[in-house]
Amino acid sequence: MTKRTPIIAGNWKMHNTLAESAALIKGLTENFENKQNAEIIVAPSYTSLAKVAELCKGTAIKVAAQDVHWEDKGAFTSAVSPVQAKDAGATHTIIGHSERRSVFGDTDEILNKKVAAALRHGLTVIFCVGETLAQRETGETLQVIEAQLKNGLKDFTAEQLNGLIIAYEPVWAIGTGKTATPEQAQEVHAAIRQYLATAYGNDFAQATRILYGGSVKDSNVDEIMAKEDVDGALVGGQSLIAEKFRRIINFN
């Protein structure tokens, strides 16, 4: 079976001034040994993107935008295009985070256009999926996630999606302190991999990293990472605290 390099990614959301961003990068890089050789990604706010990318040069940390617009430029007040994100130093972008879906109204159709825009400019996409509590309670979890994958990634070939990263983030576990159990995560991750195998072939499915997100902490990362189909974590709150994020990167 393919050995997948683990990814530990931090989504800083709407946090950190320039000075706080710089301090956090310093805290993540000074005297740090990346014991698992994990791929490390941080997603700062746009205002800190260029600064963080500059500070991460020559380190193992890669930089992601939290979102990109689907057009390269134009009259889209407040939006940031993939060209701009790349210019600022991003190599990756998150697309379809549940806060984008629920707070900003990103639909599957919009997300599909954003994925296209990111791929057009060579940004690696971290595509997020996840069910709400109501959907879990009515037994719709796997259906919901399959539909998000199907619609969000519509019309792309395996070749185009090469390098894609998926993040499973149950909405009920984000910022709530509630974490999916390792078994719940494994069940959904296995279903996602099965879907990828059916849609894009087994090689693609085996190579794709599937991250878990939702209240990942230094205290629960080990048991989640122990699951076969969990290839990494997308961390919110604890990615803002250097000491916690360092421990998560060095999961056991």
Q: Which of 39, 106, 131, 169 binds ligand 13P (CB under 6 A)?
A: 169
30 belongs to the catalytic site:
no
Tell which residue, 52, 64, 118, 69, has the closest CA to residue 91: 64
What does the DSSP 8-state code read for residue 201?
Answer: -
Q: Does 216 bind ligand 13P (CB under 6 A)?
A: yes
Task: Please tell me whether residue 224 binds ligand 13P under the rule CB under 6 A.
Answer: no
Smallest distance from ligand 13P to CB 122, Å: 22
CA–CA gap between residue 45 and residue 4 (Å, rounded):
28
Which of the residues 39, 99, 131, 169 is marked catalytic? 169
Binding mask 90-129 for ligand 13P (x = CB under 6 A): -------x--------------------------------
Q: How many CA atoms lie within 13 A of 149 on its CB side?
A: 29
Q: Taking CB under 6 A as the rule, does residue 148 contact ligand 13P? A: no
Crossing angle of helices 182-200 and 141-152, rounded to 10°: 40
What SS3 class is residue 252? coil
Asked if 234 is part of the footprint of ligand 13P (rule: CB under 6 A), the reply reads: yes
Interaction of residue 166 with ligand 13P, rule CB under 6 A: no
Q: Please pick, among 97, 99, 131, 189, the residue that the annotation labels catalytic.
A: 97
When asked if residue 184 is in the footprint of ligand 13P (CB under 6 A), the reply is: no
Question: CA quadruple 56, 245, 168, 252: dihedral positive or negative?
Answer: positive
Q: Is 121 a catalytic residue?
A: no
Q: Does 175 bind ligand 13P (CB under 6 A)?
A: yes
Residue nearest to ligand 13P (CB): 236
- Exposed (0-12), middle (13-18) or buried (19+): which is 1, by Cβ within 10 Å? exposed
Is the Cα dihedral 64, 67, 69, 75 positive or negative?
A: negative
Question: Which among 21-29, 30-38, 80-88, 207-215 is the span making contact with ligand 13P, rule CB under 6 A?
Answer: 207-215
In the complex, which residues of this chain contact ligand 13P (CB under 6 A)?
11, 97, 169, 174-175, 213-216, 234-237
